[in-house]
Structure 1
Amino acid sequence: MQRTTRLKRELQLLSTEPPPGISCWQTEGQIDDLRAQIVGGANTPYDGGLFSLEIKVPERYPFEPPKMRFLTPIYHPNIDNAGRICLDALKLPPKGAWKPSLNIATVLSSIQLLMGEPNPDDPLMADISSEYKYNKQLYLEKAKRWTEKHAIQRNKGVEETEGTALGRLDITCRKRPALHSEEHQDDSKKVFM
């Protein structure tokens, strides 16, 4: 019960005061099965990309961290091909930094920061980490190509606003209707500045 109450409160806060460039919603009425989207930051190889994530909230939340993974392929030393993320906030101590005072919005913001500032000393992808350290220009080119191939095409259904031209896109958190439902299709494409 405590988990459900807390999740409802967190989702409400994400809906009314979302972190810039982050959206989150529950799937098909499942409070413990969430989806999120992170807009790639300006001045990063992920700029202009819209990256989808899956969030599974465990029974013992907030005493255990949520399980998060990228659904959109991303070229990054701390994110593997299955979308798993190497981030201390997603692991329990002593190896991790998760604590019950953290929340989903905080972790999503941390992932957004990690996208712009990889940690090559704690990689999931050793080859990409090595490239980041020793041939950063090649890493940046490949990451940008992956973003263009996998993350920008998913952005085609989003209405463009002045903010997207500036590379800054703020998306609100909302409970998503089924995308195939015609009556809700226009609402699911809205982007708010």
Structure 2
Amino acid sequence: MAVVREKRLQREWEILQRQPPPFVHAWPRSADVLDQVEAIIEGAPDTPYAGGRFRVQVTVPARYPFEPPLVRFLTPIYHPNIDSAGRVCLDLLQMPPQGSWRPSANLIAVLAALQQLLVEPNPDDALEADIARVFRSNREAFERTAHEWTLRHAHE
């Protein structure tokens, strides 16, 4: 099983190097340890996260691809689906029946989904209920606060 996992990770890294998702930069923590990933997710234009560079840590479990990777934002972010500890609520990162993780998914899909989550927060599946409430009831206040956090924490 470990050999299959390592070959798969190697193949995924080769694809990721050739065709990274838009606004995503990722690299293994070290050349010989492909299951510890560091990434930068850039905030897309026309979002309150525009111009921000959000550091993310991805840990690939021993049972990958039968279990999803563990993801944590290291950069503080004002977002309904990301809590103050950096944990992410994203369907793709959960096992069925609560989530949609499948062994056919990969790190590229996970990184692209994280970037998309910055474009389209999901207040109906929030980790931060207060932020979700602001998102739903006062979008302007949400965007202003998210932008302020981006300026404060995600500009390098």
Return the TM-score normalized by structure 1. 0.78
Find the counterpart in structure 2 of residue 150 from structure 1.
Answer: 153
Find the counterpart in structure 1 of residue 126 from structure 2.
Answer: 123
Structure number with greater Rg is 1
Find the counterpart in structure 2 of residue 5 from structure 1.
Answer: 7
Find the counterpart in structure 1 of residue 38 from structure 2.
Answer: 35
Find the counterpart in structure 2 of residue 76 from structure 1.
Answer: 79
- SS of 2:97's partner is coil
- SS of 2:123's partner is coil
AA in 2 matched with 1:115: L
AA in 1 matched with 2:4: Q
Instruction: Quote the sequence identity (%).
Output: 49
- Is the 1:11–1:24 contact (alpha carbons within 8 Å) kept by the matching residues of 2? no
Find the counterpart in structure 1 of residue 19 from structure 2.
Answer: 17
Matched, 1:102 2:111: no
Q: Which has the higher contact order (CA 8 A, sep 6+)?
A: 1
> What count of residue pairs does the alignment treat as equivalent?
153
Find the counterpart in structure 2 of residue 87 from structure 1.
Answer: 90
Q: CA RMSD in A?
A: 0.7
AA in 1 matched with 2:131: I
Unaligned runs of 5+ in 2: none
Unaligned runs of 5+ in 1: 155-193
